Amino acid sequence: MILASLAGGQRPYADTQFVRGPNETLNVIIERISSYISLETHELVVKLKAQNMEYTDLEFGRISVGGREHVWARYQMTPGIWAKQYLIVLGGIGYAITASCKGTSLAQREKVWDAIAASFRLLSPVDGPVTASGETYRDVRTADKMREMLEERLETREAYGQLYVRAYEAVAERRYSEARVLLEKCLREDPDHVLAHKELAVVLKAQGDMRGALRHRREVKRLDPADTINRANLTELLAGFGAKREALREADELLALQPGDRAYQKLRTSLVDHSRPNFQIRFFCSMAFLIVMNAGSLAGWEILKEVGWVPVPFMLLATFHAYKSGPWVGIPKKLSALMAVALLLSFVVALFFRGYIKI
C-alpha cells in the first residue's frame, strides 16, 4: 500500500472502493502524510511498489489540486489492465486515488479520473503544513532520510537486479517462500547469478531443504571458488550429510585460501575428532528407537510396566532429534515431526490403556 509506506505503516483512516461495471474500479485511501515529503519521494515509493508488483510501462506526471502540484503515476498492472494513481496531500492528509480499467478505454476514462482528482478541495483552509500537522524540523529530517533510503534501495536493485534484491529484502524479513519464488525466477533468467545461488541456499536451509541448499552451495563454489564463507557453509552441509572425506577436502582447501584463520582451523579439527553430528545417522537411530519402543508398547512388554514413565523423556529426545535431522535425509521438518510425534503419542496411549502409566 503506497500511503502506508509514506505514513510509516499506520492504518488508513479510510479505504473505499467504487466499481463501475465489470471493467472499471476506483479506490480511495485516506491517511495522515507529512507535508514535508517531496513529490520525488512519492515517485520513489510508487516505483518500488511497481517493481514489487511487476507492473510495467510506469510513467509519472503532475496534477494541480488545491493550488499545489501533486504526483500521478500510470502503469499497466497486467496485460490490457491499466491503472492511474493520484497521490494528493492536503493539510497533512494524504489521498491515494487509484483508478483502473481495460486498455481500450484508457484514454477516455483517464480524462474523467483527472477531473475527479482535480476536484479535491479542503473544506477549511489551513495556515501551512506546520500549523496543519504540527510538524517540526525532525519531520523534515525524517522525510529526507526516507528519500535517501528509497534512492539507495532503487540503486541497489539497479546494480544487482530487481528480482535478487527483492528476494534479499524478503529474506531479511523472513518471508522465505516469497524469496524462494523470486530467486528461482532470477536463476531461470540468469543461471550463473552467483548471489542468487548463495541467497537461495540460505532460504532452502531455513525451509529445511538441506539437499537443495547443498546443491546451490556447490554452484556458488563453481562460480566463485574464492568465496570462503560459502566454502565454510558447504563444509558444514557436507559434514551434516556424513560426507566426511569430502568435507575434510573442502576444509583443507579453505585453509589453503586462508591459512591463519582460527575459525576454519577449528572447523577442520571438529571434522577430524568426530565432534560434529552426523544427522543422517541421528535421524535413523531416533526413528528406530521410536519404532521399537512403540512396537513394545503395543506388544505389552512387561518391562515397560515396571519402568512406567521412565522411557518417555528418552522418547521426547528422540522425537526432537528426528524433527531436527529429518531434512538431512530429504524429509521436510513438518513431516518428520509429524511421524515422530505420532509414534510418541501412540506409545503413551498404548501404555495408558494397558494400565502401565497413570495420568
Spans in the chain with pLDDT lower than 70: 1-13, 34-35, 103-104, 124-140, 159, 275-276
Quick one: 150 and 165 in the same domain? no
Quick one: 168 and 200 in the same domain? yes
pLDDT reported for residue 12: 53
Residue 140 lies in a domain: yes
pLDDT reported for residue 51: 82
Quick one: 10 and 150 in the same domain? yes
Last residue of a domain, one of 138, 156, 174: 156
CB 181 within 8 A of CB 200: no
Q: How far apart are CA 237 and CA 204, in angstroms?
A: 12
Quick one: 98 and 216 in the same domain? no
Query: Residue 297 is placed in which grid cell?
Result: 508398547
Last residue of a domain, one of 103, 135, 156: 156
| DSSP string for 247-295 | HHHHHHHHHHHSTT-HHHHHHHHHHHTT-S--HHHHHHHHHHHHHHHHH
Quick one: 198 and 326 in the same domain? no
- Torsion angles phi and psi, residue 76, rounded to 5: -100, 115
Q: How far apart are CA 162 and CA 159, in angstroms?
A: 9
pLDDT reported for residue 132: 42
Q: How far apart are CA 47 and CA 183, in angstroms?
A: 21
Residue 129 lies in a domain: yes
Q: C-alpha distances in angstroms, 2 versus 87, 93, 127, 270, 301?
A: 9, 14, 27, 51, 66
Quick one: 195 and 210 in the same domain? yes
Q: How far apart are CA 25 and CA 46, in angstroms?
A: 19
Quick one: 217 and 76 in the same domain? no
- Torsion angles phi and psi, residue 61, rounded to 5: -160, -175
Query: Domain of 75: which CATH number?
Result: 3.40.1000
Residue 56 lies in a domain: yes
Last residue of a domain, one of 193, 224, 255: 224
Residue 22 lies in a domain: yes
Residue 238 lies in a domain: no
Query: Residue 44 is placed in which grid cell?
Result: 520513489
Quick one: 46 and 110 in the same domain? yes
Quick one: 92 and 185 in the same domain? no
pLDDT reported for residue 133: 46
Query: Domain of 172: which CATH number?
Result: 1.25.40.10
pLDDT reported for residue 13: 64
Q: How far apart are CA 284 and CA 177, in angstroms?
A: 28
Quick one: 152 and 6 in the same domain? yes
pLDDT reported for residue 20: 81
Strand ranges (DSSP E) for 24-155? 24-32, 56-65, 68-78, 81-90, 93-102
Residue 232 lies in a domain: no
Q: Which domain holds residue 208?
A: 161-224
Task: Give the chain's domain count.
Answer: 3
Residue 181 lies in a domain: yes
pLDDT reported for residue 4: 46
Quick one: 215 and 72 in the same domain? no
Quick one: 183 and 145 in the same domain? no
